[in-house]
Amino acid sequence: MRMALRDAGVVDWTGRFEQLAAHEAALGGDELDELGQAAWFVGRDDVSVRAWERAHLRYLDDGDLASAVRCVFWLGFTLSEHGDAVRGGAWMGRLMELCERADATPATDAARALCVAAGAFARGDAEASVPLFRTAIERADAAADADALALATMGRGRALLAVGRVEEAFAELDRVMLLIADGRVSDRAAGPAYCAVIASLLGRGDVERARVWTRELGDWCDAQRGLEPFRGECTLHRASVLQLGGEWEAATAAAELVCATEKRTETLANAWYRAADLHRVAGRPAAAHDALRRAAALGREVQPTLALLHRDAGDLSSAWAGLQAARATAVQPAVRAEVLAAATRVALDRGRVAEADAAAHELAACAASFDTLYLRALSARAHGEVALADGRPADALTALRTAWAAWRRLDAPYDAALTRISIATAIRDIGDADGAELEFDAARGVLEGLGAIPDLARLERAVAATAAVADPGLSRREREVLVLVSRGWSNRRIAEHLFLSERTVARHVGSILAKLGVPSRSAATAYAFEHGVAAG
């Protein structure tokens, strides 16, 4: 019944499944265990569960309690990891019963410890699970069980992240990847470990690590012929990394492949959301809205992409309302940071500098907690955009150039280009029109290459504002007054700020309204934001 699983480094799960399934009734414990594993890898969960159930009973009949424990552990673990908490918990309970019956061995001690730790984490008690996972690591090490060691280390890394011990967590997650890279971990443990680690890294905004391990996961998936359980997650992680790196066509193809083939609800929902965001940045709003509807139907939060779609359409009220709701519920650091970055932009578009500043400070706190380059880049750009709107172009430039350097290090051309638009505006406001033009041109070249239609339109409005500022014939003092009017300041406050009398300010306001051909301060404010004057 034995056949070679590997051919030139490729594991043929399909071939092994077909061979074993054809003789299922006559299989012994080891071969039933192998059938369970092969069935799970090719996406036949019904056969996998049945085979592992039978394998554990056959082991018990043969008096091989240690193998029965191992088999039940994998059954409970795989069910739990893929969302079947009820059946997974029942099998983990069965594992505990078997461990009570078995003579204590290093292997059963490791399985029991890992089960206890995973149970605490699944119940939401991450703090309690941290030392439990440490015990599981020690027991797995004593048993020389590389699979249990990898899973326990993965669990401890996730638990440490959940309690905010970020540096320790990333060190544990790196250890998991090194264990796999050393070839000591079996394929059945490597798959869940890869995906859990990469999901944790992306969720915390550690794009640099995620990019490295995503390549490793891709190589691993390519070496598994017939693989189903991790193909969707692998492809979707890759799509996220490709999008950040500006490979939008490849990222869209990857996301749409998952949308067309994935069976697991959470992965499918995430794929539709990823596809929606790619459609949005490329200026395909109808396709983006359709993808978001599908993601939402599957239970996926659709912010901040929905808000940014509203922003692109000019519906700032809906954009702001959606982001406010998301701010109240977003917990995952990377998602929360992206919501806050979007809130900063939308608040500035609405002329609410104080609200933008509050969102930027929240974002800074998030970045400080998790201290990844991606989060620091988001935070620096947000602070630069707020400083720019607040009439502090020199301060803005410092923050924006820090952000741009980070985006360059992350090889993120789209975000780098968006940051250069703000850099150009700051340089223009300092008075360097030629320097601003060079920055605008550089950003335009990147956005045109990416096909970022909505952002190209915003760039052209910013460029046009450079000339539009002078068109009405406003004097330098009138421009200063208009900037402050656009912030909602009263004549008295403007007078105190500029060391003028209220009468002089009132005269300037009247002249501004006349030159702009608008009837009110609110209309002048709208003009200022539309033409980029409000940035100061």
pLDDT band at 466 (very low <50, low <70, confident <90, very high): low
Query: Is 317 part of a structural domain of the chain?
Result: yes
Query: Is 62 part of a structural domain of the chain?
Result: yes
Instruction: Looking at the structure, tell me whether residues 10 and 127 fall in a common domain.
Output: yes
In the DSSP assignment, the letter for residue 103 is: P
At which of 193, 215, 241 does a domain end? 241
Instruction: Looking at the structure, tell me whether residues 19 and 75 fall in a common domain.
Output: yes
Q: Tell me the C-alpha distance between 385 and 396, whole Å.
A: 7
Query: Is 415 part of a structural domain of the chain?
Result: yes
Q: List the domain range (segments joined by +) for residue 520.
A: 476-535
Given this model, what pLDDT does residue 474 score?
Answer: 83
pLDDT digits (tens, 9 = 90+) for 483-530: 899 888 999 999 999 988 999 999 999 999 888 888 888 888 877 876
Q: CB-hemisphere CA count at 13 Å for 438?
A: 4
Strand order in the sheet with 224-225: 6-7, 10-12, 224-225
Q: Tell me the C-alpha distance between 44 and 262, whole Å.
A: 14
205-232 mean pLDDT: 78
Instruction: Looking at the structure, tell me whether residues 69 and 196 fall in a common domain.
Output: yes
Nearest residue to 304 (alpha-carbon basis) of 289, 322, 316: 322
Question: Is the model more confident about 161 or about 402?
Answer: 402
**Terminal Cα distance for the chain, rounded:** 78
Say how many C-beta atoms besides its own lie within 10 A of residue 364's C-beta.
Answer: 19
- Highest-confidence segment of 92-101, 453-462, 519-528: 453-462
At which of 211, 241, 271 does a domain end? 241
Query: Is 31 part of a structural domain of the chain?
Result: yes
Nearest residue to 245 (alpha-carbon basis) of 289, 291, 290, 214: 214
- Highest-confidence segment of 14-18, 98-102, 195-199: 14-18
Instruction: Looking at the structure, tell me whether residues 418 and 316 fall in a common domain.
Output: yes
pLDDT digits (tens, 9 = 90+) for 239-294: 999 999 999 999 999 999 999 988 888 889 999 999 999 999 999 999 999 999 99
User: What CATH number does the domain containing 490 carry?
Assistant: 1.10.10.10
Q: Tell me the C-alpha distance between 474 and 142, whole Å.
A: 79
How many distinct structural domains can be found in the chain? 4
Dihedrals phi, psi of 11, to nearest 5 degrees: -90, 120
Percent of the chain with pLDDT over 70: 94
Instruction: Looking at the structure, tell me whether residues 408 and 523 fall in a common domain.
Output: no
Question: Is the model more confident about 379 or about 124?
Answer: 379
Given this model, what pLDDT does residue 535 score?
Answer: 53
User: What CATH number does the domain containing 236 carry?
Assistant: 1.25.40.10
Given this model, what pLDDT does residue 224 score?
Answer: 76
pLDDT at 225 over 80: no
At which of 258, 278, 300 does a domain end? 300
Q: Omega before 304 cis (within 30°)?
A: yes
Query: Is 370 part of a structural domain of the chain?
Result: yes
pLDDT band at 532 (very low <50, low <70, confident <90, very high): low
Given this model, what pLDDT does residue 5 score?
Answer: 40
100-120 mean pLDDT: 82
Report CA torsion sign: 491, 495, 500, 501. Answer: positive
Given this model, what pLDDT does residue 507 score?
Answer: 92
Instruction: Looking at the structure, tell me whether residues 459 and 348 fall in a common domain.
Output: yes
Instruction: Looking at the structure, tell me whether residues 129 and 258 fall in a common domain.
Output: no
Query: Is 397 part of a structural domain of the chain?
Result: yes
pLDDT digits (tens, 9 = 90+) for 325-368: 999 988 888 899 999 999 999 999 999 999 999 999 999 999 99
Instruction: Looking at the structure, tell me whether residues 268 and 207 fall in a common domain.
Output: no
Q: Tell me the C-alpha distance between 164 and 198, whole Å.
A: 17
pLDDT at 158 over 70: yes
Q: pLDDT averaged over the chain?
A: 87
Instruction: Looking at the structure, tell me whether residues 429 and 357 fall in a common domain.
Output: yes
Instruction: Looking at the structure, tell me whether residues 316 and 286 fall in a common domain.
Output: no
Given this model, what pLDDT does residue 471 score?
Answer: 55
Nearest residue to 192 (alpha-carbon basis) of 231, 151, 220, 227: 151
Query: Is 1 part of a structural domain of the chain?
Result: no
pLDDT at 303 over 70: yes
Say how many C-beta atoms besides its own lie within 10 A of residue 46's C-beta.
Answer: 8
Sequence-separated (6 or more) residues with CB below 8 Å from residue 365 = none
Instruction: Looking at the structure, tell me whether residues 374 and 404 fall in a common domain.
Output: yes
pLDDT at 24 over 90: no
Q: What's the full length of the chain, in residues? A: 536
Query: Is 353 part of a structural domain of the chain?
Result: yes
Instruction: Looking at the structure, tell me whether residues 326 and 366 fall in a common domain.
Output: yes
pLDDT digits (tens, 9 = 90+) for 405-442: 999 999 999 999 999 999 999 998 888 888 888 999 99
